[in-house]
Amino acid sequence: MTRPDPRRRANRAWLLVLPVVVSVAFTAVIPLMTVVNFSVQDVFSPTDRVFVGLDWFYEAVRRPENREAFVRTLLFSAQVLLVEIPLGVAIAVAMPRRGVWVSVALVLVALPLLIPWNVVGTIWQIFARPDIGLGGWTVANLLGVDYNYTLDSTDAWITILVMDVWHWTPLVALLAYAGLRSIPQPYFQAAQIDGASAWATFRHIQLPRLRGVLTIAILLRFMDSFMIYTEPFVVTGGGPGNATTFLSILLSKMAVGQFDVGPAGAFSLIYFLVVQILCYVFFTALTRSGR
Amino acid sequence: MFEWMVWTPPTALVFAGLALLLVVMTVWGHFSPPVARRGFLRIETDRGDRLYIGLIGAAVVLVGWMAVTDLSMWLALGCAVLVVVVIGIWG
């Protein structure tokens, strides 16, 4: 039997890709093109619209609220990484390697990851309340701290940060744990023979070997925290004032709340650009670390 | 049918240009398959990768320009094209 020409077989692959192309065009490309069209116009209705050029883009990059939200979101992402990455690695190092406690530890650590975003928000909204919430009441009454996340912007910020740490550190811990488990035993035996301390073993054997998974963890957590929406929306609604108004909350207020589709279009395209750059860095780092 | 997409001539031109760019790259790739190499970006890229990075870089230049200066956007466009060309050739 003669085998079909490989070039023709490669052409047949195009046919199989077609459904994906069509569905992506329908769900992503065409809506995105529409957003681009909206971003250069003041649209009152499909028939009643004015071309405004780059005005909305100037507004998007120059409006103080937008700049503040951008800085706020970057700051939040930086804090998330600074807390979650070391904490996640510490938890992973402390988790048992063998025995029955492995499954117990894994289930306990993974539990917060199984809870949907909006439920996490609802849990923390009640948990952190100083009058009826267990956490808020403890901080306010037992520790004597003047704590109220609905009135004080620092309290609101800390509440959102702690909530994110609670929700997502397990992801870092599980990734780091998987990375630690893949280190061959002879490394540890050699370290033991050399009389290396626990810190030296961690610093020179475990940490270098965690580079790959930590790259994934850092990029995942950065992207995710940079796009955070549901939890702060449920807990603080962006307040008090603008204290927890992150980029996505500001954008949805603009697009859905005030129906300013032009400015919201320009703003979301710039937001999209930032996320796009992060995704590309993510993708490049991942494919390069695999080599 | 496309009334709801609220097209304007400039955006139509931009998307037509992008589509044309994709077609040109596809035809070019068919007749002379791209070769991956390392340039000043220090990651392995073929010409499609460099075009993508160049376009993203151009977008960053345009947005950054609007954020910091009132100078003409045509100047910014010139810089953006320069970025695409430089990354495309030496990136």
A161 with A259, same domain: the answer is yes
Among residues A61, A122, A65, A64, the alpha carbon closest in space to that of A249 is found at A65
* Domain spans in chain B, listed from the N-terminal domain onward: 1-33, 38-91
Cis peptide before A64 (omega within 30 of 0): no
A151 with A207, same domain: the answer is yes
Pairing of strands B37-38, A41-45: unpaired
Neighbouring-strand partners of residue A41: A51
CA distance A216 to A289: 10
Confidence of residue B87 (pLDDT cuts 50, 70, 90): very high
CA-based nearest distance B15→chain A, Å: 8
A11 with A146, same domain: the answer is no
- Are the Cβ atoms of B10 and A40 closer than 8 angstroms? yes
**DSSP for A92-149, written as a single string:** HHHS-SSSTHHHHHHHHHHGGGGS-HHHHHHHHHHHT-TTT-HHHHIIIIIS-----T
In the 8-state DSSP scheme, what is residue B69?
Answer: -
A177 with A202, same domain: the answer is yes
CA-based nearest distance B10→chain A, Å: 9
- Which residues have C-beta within 8 Å of that of residue A154, sequence separation ≥ 6? A243
Kindly list the residues from chain A whose CB atom is less than 8 angstroms away from the CB atom of residue B14. 36
pLDDT of residue A208: 87
Kindly list the residues from chain A whose CB atom is less than 8 angstroms away from the CB atom of residue B59. 273
Nearest residue of chain A to residue B67 (CA atoms)? A61
Among residues B39, B23, B19, the alpha carbon closest in space to that of B31 is found at B23
Kindly list the residues from chain A whose CB atom is less than 8 angstroms away from the CB atom of residue B46. none
In the 8-state DSSP scheme, what is residue A240?
Answer: S
CA-based nearest distance B43→chain A, Å: 8
CA-based nearest distance A116→chain B, Å: 33
A203 with A74, same domain: the answer is yes
Confidence of residue A7 (pLDDT cuts 50, 70, 90): low
- Are the Cβ atoms of B56 and A46 closer than 8 angstroms? no
Interface test with B, best of A267, A270, A282 (most B CBs within 10 A): A270
A28 with A153, same domain: the answer is no
Kindly list the residues from chain B whose CB atom is less than 8 angstroms away from the CB atom of residue A43. 6
Give the CATH number, domain containing residue A82. 1.10.3720.10
- Are the Cβ atoms of B4 and A34 closer than 8 angstroms? yes
Residue type, A88: G
- For the range A105-111, what are the long-range contacts, defined as Cβ-Cβ under 8 Å and sequence gap of 24 or more? A106/A174, A106/A177, A109/A170, A109/A173, A109/A174, A109/A177, A110/A170, A110/A174, A111/A170
A115 with A27, same domain: the answer is no
What percentage of chain A carries pLDDT values higher than 90?
Answer: 45
| A104 contacts chain B (CB < 8 A) | no
Residue ranges making up the domain that contains A20:
6-51
Question: Which position has the token pair 């459904």?
Answer: A19
CA-based nearest distance B38→chain A, Å: 13
Number of domains in chain A: 2
* pLDDT at A243 > cutoff 70: yes
A24 with A142, same domain: the answer is no
A164 with A74, same domain: the answer is yes
A75 with A201, same domain: the answer is yes
- Are the Cβ atoms of B14 and A36 closer than 8 angstroms? yes
A36 with A122, same domain: the answer is no
Among residues A283, A284, A259, A270, the alpha carbon closest in space to that of A73 is found at A270
Average pLDDT over every residue of A43-53: 85
| A41 contacts chain B (CB < 8 A) | yes
Among residues A118, A75, A84, A115, the alpha carbon closest in space to that of A237 is found at A118
| A277 contacts chain B (CB < 8 A) | yes
Answer whether residue A219 is part of any domain: yes
CA-based nearest distance A16→chain B, Å: 18
Average pLDDT over every residue of A58-68: 91
Span A89-117, pLDDT tens digits: 999 999 988 888 999 999 999 999 999 98
Q: Looking at this predicted complex, what is its ipTM?
A: 0.91
pLDDT of residue A212: 84
Kindly list the residues from chain B whose CB atom is less than 8 angstroms away from the CB atom of residue A62. 66-67
CA distance A196 to A192: 6
Mean pLDDT, rounded, of chain B: 91
Kindly list the residues from chain A whose CB atom is less than 8 angstroms away from the CB atom of residue B36. none
Inter-chain Cβ pairs, chain A and chain B, closer than 8 A: 52
pTM score, two decimals? 0.82
pLDDT of residue A9: 62
| B5 contacts chain A (CB < 8 A) | yes
| A40 contacts chain B (CB < 8 A) | yes
* pLDDT at A290 > cutoff 60: no
Answer whether residue A213 is part of any domain: yes
- 8 A C-beta contact, residue B20 and residue B58: no
Kindly list the residues from chain A whose CB atom is less than 8 angstroms away from the CB atom of residue B51. none
Kindly list the residues from chain A whose CB atom is less than 8 angstroms away from the CB atom of residue B70. none
Answer whether residue A56 is part of any domain: no
Q: Kindly list the distances between the CA atom of residue A84 and the CA atoms of A80, A167, A256, in Å, as whole numbers in the listed order.
A: 6, 10, 32
CA distance A206 to A210: 6
